[in-house]
Chain A
Amino acid sequence: MTDLLRIDAELVRTILVSFIRQEITRAGLTRAVVGLSGGLDSAVSCMLSAQALGPHNVLALMMPHRTSSPDSLADAQRVVEQTGVRHDTVEITAMVEPLFERFPAAQARRRGNAMARERMIVLYDQSADFGGLVVGTGNKTEILLGYTTLYGDSACAINPLGDLYKTQVLELARALGVPDSIQKKPPSADLWKGQTDEGELGYTYAEVDRLLYLLVDERYSPQECVAAGFAAKFVRSVTERVRLNQFKRVLPPIAKLSNRTVGYDFLYLRDWGT
């Protein structure tokens, strides 16, 4: 089963490096900004960006909150040292605390979302200063499951990893030589103490990636997934979760009134004219 998720890492690397280079240069720019969390996805995005543009053209931003795990920063530093990219550390604590003071009853999820959105603000602000595009880090698993913050960590100009399942990002990371400590640690958004992706989701990436591959890539019906050996409850929960999170993957619907409406019949690629 895991063979279905196999990728040719060198082929993927070649395509993604070329994607980053071409999509940035055609926009008239030469640089990229990446939010480097110390996690797997951003490490891979950062390395690919460095290969695409040259390390001096990549700005890695570390944006810890006072509650962030110190391991995260240490791991991010390892990526910086390995790639030679430019870097800056911008602590976001003082930027989000006023919001939490104003609304002290906000639970962990709201605080986590605010932190993710604050990081987006810093990234976009710094990208204007640095003269680069924000390169995203979202993978296919989290995009499908909606395990992202809308307008937070999912915000970017281009996304090289969005068609790779988490399991496949790990395979690419291995081939790229991402530091061992990053490859081995449990994936986590690090938005509160002890948070892990798999703890929050209720299943492992290995399991859910195999299921998502069948459901999405191979267009299996839920019944066919059950016949393939997945628990019915698991299949139901994942298919519902994918459906419920479609709103995070599309632009907000515009009410159509005219004969030509943005989002329906005003159709151009982002690369229009380049």
Chain B
Amino acid sequence: MELHLALAQISTSLGTLRPNLEKHLRFIRQARTAGADLVLFPELSLTGYVLQDLVPTVACRPTESDPVFGELLAASKDIDVVVGFVEEDQRNRFYISAAYLSKRQVRHVHRKVYLPTYGLFDEGRFFAWGDHVRAFDTRFGRAGLLICEDFWHASPPYLLWLDGADLLLFMSASPGRGVGGGATLESAWWVEQVNQSYASLFTSFVAHTNKVGFEDGLNFWGGSTVFDPNGHCLARAPYHEETLKLVTLDLNQLRRTRARLPLLRDERTALVQRELQRILAQPDRTTHLG
């Protein structure tokens, strides 16, 4: 089976839903016309990234009755859509969230579980931490959604893999840094390495859409990629340019790779659980772990 994937590598305006929503609808239409089955937007694609005190003003609920999601759900009739947004829950907590929309339904919502709050990042000041890492079923198989810092830790992709995800869908708003390492930004090189490693170690597909554009002095570097279960790069979108990148995934590659390299089959989950329990139960564990 083939999955025609579109990476919507877009720039956004900061703190204004309507112009961003209009861009989403345009890119969704374009992706559908180009024959895509699924279109993947970046982190906080509906709002922009460095929101700070704007967070409460741009929050949405992923439901039919929400003015923004109402239109997105309609647009998901003939193509699956993954969008980034600020989610407000019943008790007025705000999350960096991603929603998978298919056939006018919200199939899955992921709330970012790792919020970088160091250096230039200040997410923990404005957002609540998500509490779940769950794979979910799509018409292309079982998938997982992660947002930026979530895949800067090995644990969430590993959990998604164990929960059955063969297609890892990553989204980010990654600021570019490191200009001393050659023609590629150091941050781009790092993320590509990491994505390639996950694809290789988990013998799964890893697709990643990163945003482009600027917010004050922060540049967002794009460079969205898809890696296959062999760890080969199927596509890379240009750096720093807004674009819709189309990639065809041959899902049968999962079977071929796993026949050659059965890392998934051989993963000893009971051992992992046993050793993790031992490590976490140690009385002096705070010297080793958080």
Contact = CB atoms under 8 A, between A and B. Distances in A.
B214 A272 contact: no
B218 to A, nearest CB: 9
A8 B185 CA distance: 9
A22 B14 contact: no
Nearest to A159: B217
Nearest to B16: A273
Interface residues of A, number: 29
B217 A19 contact: yes
Given A15-B219, A18-B219, A269-B216, A4 B183 contact: no
B283 interface: no
Q: Interface residues of A: mostly helix, strand, loop or mixed?
A: loop
Interface in B188-222: 213-217, 219
Contacts of B181: 8
Given A11-B179, A15-B176, A19-B217, A266 B240 contact: no
Contact of B183 (A11, A18, A22): A11
Contact of A274 (B14, B50, B180, B240): B14
B53 A10 contact: no
A273 B216 contact: no
A11 B184 contact: yes
B219 A266 contact: no
Contacts, number: 63
Interface residues of B, number: 23
B13 interface: yes
Interface in A229-274: 265-274
Nearest to A213: B180
Nearest to A4: B180
Most chain B beta carbons < 10 A, residue from A8, A26, A272, A273: A272
B214 to A, nearest CB: 5
A266 B54 CA distance: 10
Contacts of A11: 179, 183-185
A159 B217 CA distance: 8
15 contacts: A6-B180, A8-B179, A10-B183, A11-B179, A12-B179, A15-B179, A18-B240, A19-B214, A19-B219, A22-B213, A23-B214, A26-B13, A159-B217, A269-B216, A273-B13
